[in-house]
């Protein structure tokens, strides 16, 4: 990848939300580290898929990338322009080039705007299309592109089905002619039959318009289908990044292995024999993340040395980037998984000292 | 941007023909709410009561048989015995020989005036404070939250005082009179409107379509005015209808306490109620009639308000 191929580059991005206490004079008692040091690059015209369980910070990362949530620190460069330090006025102009598609097509459309008004708003804001006729022409072309009929223009969002509403959301993003689209769970609110339609639509649009996507999802199949590169997030940081299929065939990070082992295989014999890794416990609180490797509290491969006190950085192993101290040894089978018991950690500053409660794990909660 | 294949286009054309049946235009949420309102029997009853009330209040005073302050039957007043309902006085005569029917009709106009004006005062001032606070808290970032904090603590102070007590204090400060009643009753409803609009705006400001507008590059003040405010108005409109009912009752209460209109030539239901209490055993109708009028009017506003709440509630949308 040469420099000019990169559309978006994120360096050490952090988004920390303060936890406030008090009625009038609020004081900050801690931070929720939603995104805690993410580096990634998205190539022009490609799709970067971001997966991870709920609460791992993938949506926050997407919003911080578009400067919809102000990042705490770090850099986001879009086509060579640094966004985090850009003055508000220039940032607004830049927004034309980067758009967002939302998860819930109902709540992301203003219920009191008809489709024409929804699509015109962006055009007016950026002064695209001088006359009303010109705008109508652009809007008409966009409707064709997303497969919506012309009569949709005078209708309101509540008169459409879920799939059609998502098409309106896509049209709103497309109408400005953006280069980057951040799609935050674009299909998870839709029926499975409609999901395929919308995923295919996104695919077609990428081919015809040369769009760059950052697709955020928790559905591994959807991400696999459309992504060129996939990043796996855990507790605010990337744990592994690999080219599409490689992540599925050869997961290197223990967390990715656990994720992949949860995907059912459409072959009963393989399905019966395949190895399943069930993770014990819940995602630790991002207000009080574990020391060292964020995953060591739930990792079946965790080692007494390094894991608990040294935070692994992403390092290149083959075509992948992995944040695990023992990735090679795990891959060769030198290290074997062991039993893990669930731990409950409280956020710091909540009553007594954070302590650990161990709960007996059920038999078969590992391997 | 034309990637639609011929086949897809055909399908779309077919769909558009199917859908272009009778209604060419989409149905906005307000229209749909109104449609739902018309089907609700409570709304119809409320609307009929209010329609009659409006008719009487606006046109009635032009057709009253006697001047409301003319003591035409003074001669017939005996101690504790007033002429009751009869052909020339449908509701009888009051304690100083005035026609009760004429006074009730003219009183309707006063009641409507006090109710509407005081609600408008509360609505205007409350929405202004609540709107500024809501926009500041929802979209204004750190400084916005500070502005919101100052405004809302002031509103909390108003809210902390019992409403009637607050109204009495204001009325006592400004001196008795019709304007006083309107201002006092209006001020009492300010915190309700302010908190309602603010809360509604904050919840709307956190919704995805506001985020979408930000990502389109729309400026914050424009987002507040074109997206947040219109979507936050429904509960405020419902509250305004319900406040009309309480405003009428509160205005009557102030008049009853002698802080209201002191001009005897302009009758008012609250004052009539206050005057009648001395003659409760000899002529109970003098108290019952204005009380009944107040109750029925307030009921009309409440019925319509509750029906509007149901019609505008997004959860009940089908």
Those residues whose C-beta lies under 8 Å from the C-beta of residue B8, and which sit 6 or more positions away, are A147
User: What is the pLDDT at residue B2?
Assistant: 45
* Nearest one of A18, A25, A17 to B146, comparing CA atoms: A25
Beta strands in chain A (DSSP E): 6-21, 27-43, 47-51, 73-78, 81-82, 98-101, 180-184, 212-216, 229-234, 237-243, 315-317, 320-322, 342-344, 357-359
User: What is the pLDDT at residue A277?
Assistant: 79
How far is residue B62's CA from residue A36's CA, in Å, rounded to a whole number? Answer: 76
CB count in 10 Å sphere of residue A42: 24
CB count in 10 Å sphere of residue A46: 19
- Of the residues B209, B210, B230, B233, the best mutation for testing chain A's interface (the one with the most A CB atoms within 10 Å of its CB) is B209
A residues 18-47 lying closer than 8 A (beta carbon) to B? 24
CATH number of A3-227: 3.40.50.300
| pLDDT tens digits in sequence order for chain B, 318 residues long | 444 456 666 665 655 555 554 445 667 777 888 888 888 888 899 999 989 988 988 888 888 777 777 777 777 777 667 777 777 777 877 777 788 888 888 888 888 888 889 999 999 999 999 999 999 988 877 788 889 999 999 999 988 888 788 888 888 888 878 888 888 889 989 999 999 999 999 999 988 999 999 999 999 999 999 999 988 888 888 888 888 888 888 888 888 787 776 666 778 887 788 788 888 887 788 888 888 988 898 899 889 888 888 887 765 554
Do B231 and A141 make contact, defined as CB atoms within 8 angstroms? no
Angle between helix axes B41-63 and B100-139 (nearest 10 degrees) is 130
Nearest CB to A109; choose among B27, B149, B209: B209
Q: Does any CB of chain B come closer than 8 Å to the CB of residue A109?
A: yes
Give φ, ψ of A325 to 5 degrees.
Answer: -65, -30
How far is residue B283's CA from residue A17's CA, in Å, rounded to a whole number? Answer: 70
Nearest CB to A110; choose among B15, B26, B231: B231
**b vs e for B211-229, b when ≥16 Cβ sit within 10 Å of the residue's Cβ?**
bbbbbbbbebeebbebbbb
User: What is the pLDDT at residue A275?
Assistant: 72
Do A108 and B211 make contact, defined as CB atoms within 8 angstroms? yes
Angle, CA A226 vertex, CA A248 and CA A180 arms, to 5°: 125
User: Nearest CA of chain A to the CA of B130: how many Å?
Assistant: 18
Angle between helix axes A132-146 and A192-209 (nearest 10 degrees) is 120
A residues 112-151 lying closer than 8 A (beta carbon) to B? 112-115, 121-122, 125-126, 141-142, 144-145, 147, 149-151
Report the residue of chain B nearest A119, measured CA to CA: B216
How far is residue B79's CA from residue B199's CA, in Å, rounded to a whole number? Answer: 57
Residue A147 Rama label (left phi>0; alpha psi -120 to 50; beta): left
Report the residue of chain A nearest B18, measured CA to CA: A151
Angle, CA A249 vertex, CA A246 and CA A250 arms, to 5°: 75
- Chain A residues within 8 A of B312 when measuring between CB atoms: none
Do B16 and A151 make contact, defined as CB atoms within 8 angstroms? yes
Token pair belonging to B222? 């424009």
* Nearest one of A277, A336, A331 to A302, comparing CA atoms: A336
How far is residue B231's CA from residue B233's CA, in Å, rounded to a whole number? Answer: 6
Please name the fold of domain B56-63+98-316.
Answer: MetI-like fold (1.10.3720)
Q: Does any CB of chain B come closer than 8 Å to the CB of residue A101?
A: no
- Chain B residues within 8 A of A121 when measuring between CB atoms: 213, 216, 218
- Of the residues A26, A98, A111, the best mutation for testing chain B's interface (the one with the most B CB atoms within 10 Å of its CB) is A111
- Of the residues B17, B26, B36, B228, the best mutation for testing chain A's interface (the one with the most A CB atoms within 10 Å of its CB) is B26
Residue A311 CA, chain-centre distance (Å), reads 22
Do B153 and A112 make contact, defined as CB atoms within 8 angstroms? no
User: What is the pLDDT at residue A264?
Assistant: 77
How far is residue B68's CA from residue B53's CA, in Å, rounded to a whole number? Answer: 18
Whole-structure pTM value: 0.79
The ipTM is 0.84
Angle between helix axes A162-174 and B208-216 (nearest 10 degrees) is 20
How far is residue A164's CA from residue A198's CA, in Å, rounded to a whole number? Answer: 9
User: Nearest CA of chain A to the CA of B129: how many Å?
Assistant: 19
Question: Domain boundaries in chain A?
Answer: 3-227
Do B212 and A155 make contact, defined as CB atoms within 8 angstroms? no
User: Nearest CA of chain A to the CA of B6: how many Å?
Assistant: 11
DSSP string, A247-312: HHHS--SHHHHHHHHTS--S-HHHHHHS---PPPS-PPPTTSPPSSSTTTTT-TT--SSSTTTSPP
Those residues whose C-beta lies under 8 Å from the C-beta of residue A56, and which sit 6 or more positions away, are A233, A234, A235, A236, A283
User: What is the pLDDT at residue B9?
Assistant: 62
Do B12 and A149 make contact, defined as CB atoms within 8 angstroms? yes
B residues 212-231 lying closer than 8 A (beta carbon) to A? 212-219, 227, 230-231
Q: Which helix (H) or strand (E) holds B96?
A: none
Nearest CB to B27; choose among A145, A156, A207: A156
User: What is the pLDDT at residue A199?
Assistant: 92
Do A155 and B26 make contact, defined as CB atoms within 8 angstroms? yes
In this structure, what DSSP letter does residue A361 have?
P
- Chain B residues within 8 A of A114 when measuring between CB atoms: 26, 28
Give B272-293 as a 3 state SS string. HHHHHHHHCCCCCHHHHHHHHH
CB count in 10 Å sphere of residue A97: 15
| pLDDT tens digits in sequence order for chain A, 367 residues long | 555 689 999 999 999 998 887 766 678 888 899 999 999 999 999 999 999 888 889 999 999 999 999 999 999 999 999 999 999 899 999 999 999 999 888 889 998 888 999 999 999 999 888 788 899 999 999 999 999 998 888 888 888 888 899 999 999 999 999 999 999 999 888 888 889 889 999 999 999 999 999 999 988 888 888 999 999 999 999 999 999 888 888 889 999 988 888 877 777 887 777 777 778 777 888 888 888 899 988 888 888 888 888 899 999 988 889 999 988 888 888 888 877 766 555 555 444 444 444 444 444 444 3
User: What is the pLDDT at residue B129?
Assistant: 95
User: What is the pLDDT at residue B7?
Assistant: 66
User: What is the pLDDT at residue B247?
Assistant: 87
Segment B168-211, tens digit of pLDDT: 888 888 887 888 888 888 998 999 999 999 999 999 998 899 99
User: Nearest CA of chain A to the CA of B150: how many Å?
Assistant: 9
Q: Which residues pair with A101 in a beta bridge?
A: A183
Q: Does any CB of chain A come closer than 8 Å to the CB of residue B153?
A: yes
In this structure, what DSSP letter does residue A50 have?
E
Residue A344 CA, chain-centre distance (Å), reads 26
Token pair belonging to A47? 């799709």
Token pair belonging to A212? 């760059």
Nearest CB to B26; choose among A95, A96, A156: A156
């Amino acid at each position: 990848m040469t420099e000019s191929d990169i559309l978006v580059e994120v360096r050490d991005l952090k988004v920390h939300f303060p936890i406030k206490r008090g009625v009038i004079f609020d004081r900050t008692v801690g931070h929720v580290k939603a995104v805690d040091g993410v580096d990634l690059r998205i190539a022009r015209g490609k799709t970067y898929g971001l997966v991870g369980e709920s609460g791992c910070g993938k949506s926050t990362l997407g919003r911080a990338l578009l400067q919809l949530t102000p990042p705490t620190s770090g850099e986001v460069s879009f086509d060579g322009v640094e966004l985090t330090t850009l003055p508000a006025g220039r940032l607004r102009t830049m927004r034309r080039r980067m758009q967002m598609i939302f998860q819930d097509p109902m709540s992301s459309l203003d219920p009191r705007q008809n489709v024409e008004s929804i699509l015109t708003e962006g055009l007016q804001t950026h002064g695209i299309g001088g006359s009303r006729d010109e705008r109508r022409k652009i809007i008409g072309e966009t409707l064709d592109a997303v497969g919506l009929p012309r009569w949709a223009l005078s209708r309101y969002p509540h008169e459409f089905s879920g799939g059609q509403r998502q098409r309106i959301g896509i049209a709103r993003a497309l109408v400005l002619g953006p280069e980057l689209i951040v799609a935050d769970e674009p299909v998870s609110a839709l029926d499975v039959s409609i999901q395929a339609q919308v995923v295919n639509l996104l695919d077609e649009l990428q081919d015809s318009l040369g769009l760059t996507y950052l697709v955020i999802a928790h559905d591994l199949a959807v991400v696999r289908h459309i992504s060129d590169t996939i990043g796996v997030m855990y507790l605010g940081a990337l744990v592994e990044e690999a080219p599409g299929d490689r992540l599925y065939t050869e997961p290197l990070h223990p967390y990715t292995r656990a994720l992949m082992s949860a995907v059912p295989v459409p072959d009963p014999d393989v399905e019966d024999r395949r190895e399943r890794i069930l993770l014990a416990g819940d995602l630790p609180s991002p207000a009080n993340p574990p020391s060292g490797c964020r995953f060591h509290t739930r990792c079946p491969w965790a080692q007494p040395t390094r894991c608990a006190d040294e935070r692994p950085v992403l390092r290149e192993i083959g075509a992948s980037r992995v944040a695990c101290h023992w990735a090679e040894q795990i891959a060769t089978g030198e290290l074997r998984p062991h039993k893990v018991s669930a731990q409950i950690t409280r956020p710091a500053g909540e009553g007594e000292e954070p302590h650990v409660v161990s709960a007996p794990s059920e038999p078969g909660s590992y391997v | 941007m034309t990637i639609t294949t011929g086949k897809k286009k055909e399908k779309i054309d077919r769909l558009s023909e199917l859908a272009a049946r009778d209604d060419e235009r989409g149905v906005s949420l307000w229209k749909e709410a109104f449609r739902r309102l018309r089907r609700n029997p409570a709304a119809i009853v409320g609307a009929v009561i209010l329609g009659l009330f409006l008719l009487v209040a606006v046109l009635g005073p032009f057709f009253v048989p006697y001047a409301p302050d003319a003591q035409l039957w003074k001669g017939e007043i005996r101690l504790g015995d007033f002429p009751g309902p009869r052909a020339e006085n449908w509701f009888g005569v009051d304690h100083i020989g005035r026609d009760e029917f004429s006074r009730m009709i003219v009183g309707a106009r006063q009641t409507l005036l006090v109710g509407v004006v005081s609600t408008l005062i509360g609505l205007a001032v409350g929405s202004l404070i609540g709107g500024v606070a809501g926009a500041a808290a929802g979209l204004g970032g750190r400084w916005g939250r500070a502005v919101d904090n100052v405004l809302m603590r002031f509103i909390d102070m108003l809210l902390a005082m019992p409403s009637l007590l607050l109204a009495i204090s204001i009325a006592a400060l400004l001196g008795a009179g019709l304007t006083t009643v309107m201002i006092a009753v209006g001020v009492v409803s300010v915190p309700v409107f302010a908190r309602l609009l603010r809360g509604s705006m904050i919840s709307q400001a956190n919704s995805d379509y506001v985020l979408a507008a930000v990502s389109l590059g729309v400026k914050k003040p424009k987002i507040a005015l074109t997206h947040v405010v219109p979507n936050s108005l429904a509960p405020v409109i419902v509250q305004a209808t319900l406040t009309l009912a309480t405003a009428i009752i509160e205005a009557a209460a102030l008049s009853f306490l002698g802080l209201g209109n002191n001009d005897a030539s302009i009758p008012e239901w609250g004052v009539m109620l206050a005057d009648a209490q001395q003659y409760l055993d000899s002529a109970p109708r003098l108290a019952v009639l204005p009380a009944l009028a107040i109750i029925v009017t307030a009921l009309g506003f409440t019925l319509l308000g509750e029906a509007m709440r149901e019609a505008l509630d997004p959860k009940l949308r089908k």
